[in-house]
Structure 1
């Protein structure tokens, strides 16, 4: 993984949010962000059903997240402000965005959008002309506002609500 850095996000204090490759030492904080974001921000998807929520969170452990930092063909990025992890995202070398979760207290600060741009940039670096993802109900409008279009019938991937296959042309040269 390269030393990708971005200063696209701005915190409430005006400090820059850096986006960088995650390292195994980020795993506990990144895991906390994932679990809090899903639990608190994705209620439209899991409906506070403990069975659905527990299944969704089952692979969100520090050990598994640490493994994602070393997974071949996968880029795990974090948005950080100082030492605090504010958001976690992942994109495969094939351009599939697998994660884009923000800490509840960092929502609506531009962090998710900056992370999404970084994920798209990483996909473009890998030679992709298009990014794909499956959006939650919660994030569907966010992705539409970022230029993603629905690309298939909704699935039952996320809890009680549909998962939305989406794509966006990012224009990278092969």
Structure 2
């Protein structure tokens, strides 16, 4: 297996990114949506190719490519010092793609002057982030469709 290539998403990536996001949420986030079709539908409502194209145009979407195909999708908000997405294709889970994407997004935030990064983890991803040095930054709180867990991490310059 080749190493993942991390890059900024391009407009032509919208379809592939939408597929990865929707598949990941649907198949891997059961601890959050509990298989409820209505909860899944609300969560993925903006993960259409058109919705993802708008996210790409805003400039924060990053992708991990494996063997020339988009296998994970992340998003950063540099001005806020936040990571807002990190999802992997369920068929490619367990290959270090989310970890590589997370490390690249953390490094990008650090290069932009962010010293403490923030994110809101899902129940599914909370242990993943803890394993990568993130710390709880408050109690879980109800979001738009799931409970989110605020986390933060001190970044090295």
Report the CA distance between 1:158 and its aligned residue. Answer: 6.6
Equivalent of 1:116 in 89, 102, 107:
102
The answer to whether the aligner puts 1:78 opposite 2:63 as a matched pair is: yes
Structure 1, residues 100-132: CA drift from partner, whole Å, max 9, x if none?
000001111111000000110111121100110
Name the structure where helix makes up a greater proportion of residues. 2
Which residue does the alignment assign to 1:138? 124
Q: Distance in 2 between matches of 1:26 and 1:131?
A: 26
**Matched position secondary structure for 2:57:** coil
Report the CA distance between 1:78 and its aligned residue. Answer: 0.3
Q: Distance in 2 between matches of 1:157 and 1:119?
A: 23
Runs of 4+ in 1 over 4 A off after TM superposition: none
Report the CA distance between 1:157 and its aligned residue. Answer: 2.1
Normalising by structure 1, report the TM-score: 0.86
Which residue does the alignment assign to 1:169? 154
Bigger drift between 104-113 and 28-37 goes to 104-113
Q: Distance in 1 between matches of 2:104 and 2:144?
A: 24
Normalising by structure 2, report the TM-score: 0.95
Which residue does the alignment assign to 2:142? 156
Alignment of 1:19-168 (within 5 A): 19-71=6-58, 74-93=59-78, 94-157=80-143, 159=145, 162-168=147-153
Structure 1, residues 7-27: CA drift from partner, whole Å, max 9, x if none?
xxxxxxx21210000001000
Cα RMSD for the two superposed structures: 1.2
Structure 1, residues 54-100: CA drift from partner, whole Å, max 9, x if none?
110110011111111121xx421000023311000001112100000
Q: Distance in 2 between matches of 1:55 and 1:131?
A: 27
Bigger drift between 81-90 and 145-154 goes to 81-90
